Structure formats: structure tokens, C-alpha cells
Amino acid sequence: MITRAFVIGFAFAASTGIAAAQDVAAGAVSFRKCTPCHNIGEGATNKVGPVLNGLEGRHSGSIPGFNYSEANKKSGLTWDKATFKSYIADPRAKIPGTKMVFAGIKNEKEQEDLWAFLTQYGPDGKKK
């Protein structure tokens, strides 16, 4: 009985890991919507929008060399999952006056996948 419980538990843990990998892969596909304006990864540079390396825990409007709107600089946001999901659903509603022109991603699963993709990159652009 113990062996069976162990096997079931191990199978569940393994399948959870696979699901997480699928989320990151789906997030990479979703990130294609962002690439006209944003870069991520090693060697990323600012484009129309700032680089997105090290997003989790970063303060809004804080990437050196990027010309943020006053609204973005003064928003007081610190990027975490909940803040990101609220922002990416409707950027102009979350930060009125932002320069980001994007219709938003309304689908919660896609928001989750995109967050999983983005947060795998540290401030230096390397995958954690």
C-alpha cells in the first residue's frame, strides 16, 4: 500500500513539473505579442518598451536608459504576479497615462503562462 501511494505521489509530482514546463512554453508563444516592443534574455536592450529581465520584484519605471512616462515612474507599482496580471489585462486602466499602447491579454491562463515565461529571467537576462 505504501509503495502504491509513493508511485501515485511521484507520478503526480512529475506531471505537475511537466505542466509547469508547458506553461513556460505557452508563455514563450504569448511573448511573441510583446516582441515588437520588448526584449528579454541575455543581451536584451530597450526598444519601444523597456527590457523585461528581472521583472518580478522590480519597481515600475526603473530600467536605466528607458524613457518612461511620468505616470509609469510615479505609479508606485512593484511587479508581482497579481500586479502583472492586472496590468497586462488592460495597461491603460492600471496606469492611466502610460505610453504602452496594447489592447491587453484578457485570458487568465495566458496571463499566467506569460508570467511564468517572464519570471524565468533574472535581472542579468540569464535563466534562473
Looking at residues 44-58, what average pLDDT do you find? 98
Q: Would you say residue 28 has pLDDT above 60?
A: yes
Position 13 scores a pLDDT of 41
CA distance 95 to 102: 12
Please enumerate, as own/partner, the contacts of 15-20 that have beta carbons within 8 Å and a separation of 24 or more: 20/116
Position 114 scores a pLDDT of 98
Q: Would you say residue 64 has pLDDT above 90?
A: yes
Quickly state the pLDDT bin for 22 (edges 50, 70, 90): low
In this prediction the pTM is 0.82
Q: Would you say residue 14 has pLDDT above 50?
A: no
Q: Would you say residue 15 has pLDDT above 80?
A: no
CA distance 52 to 83: 15
β-bridge partners, 78: 59
pLDDT in tens, 96-107: 999 999 999 999
Cell output for 78: 512593484
The DSSP string of 65-78 is: T----HHHHTS--B
Place of cell 484578457: 106
CA distance 45 to 51: 6
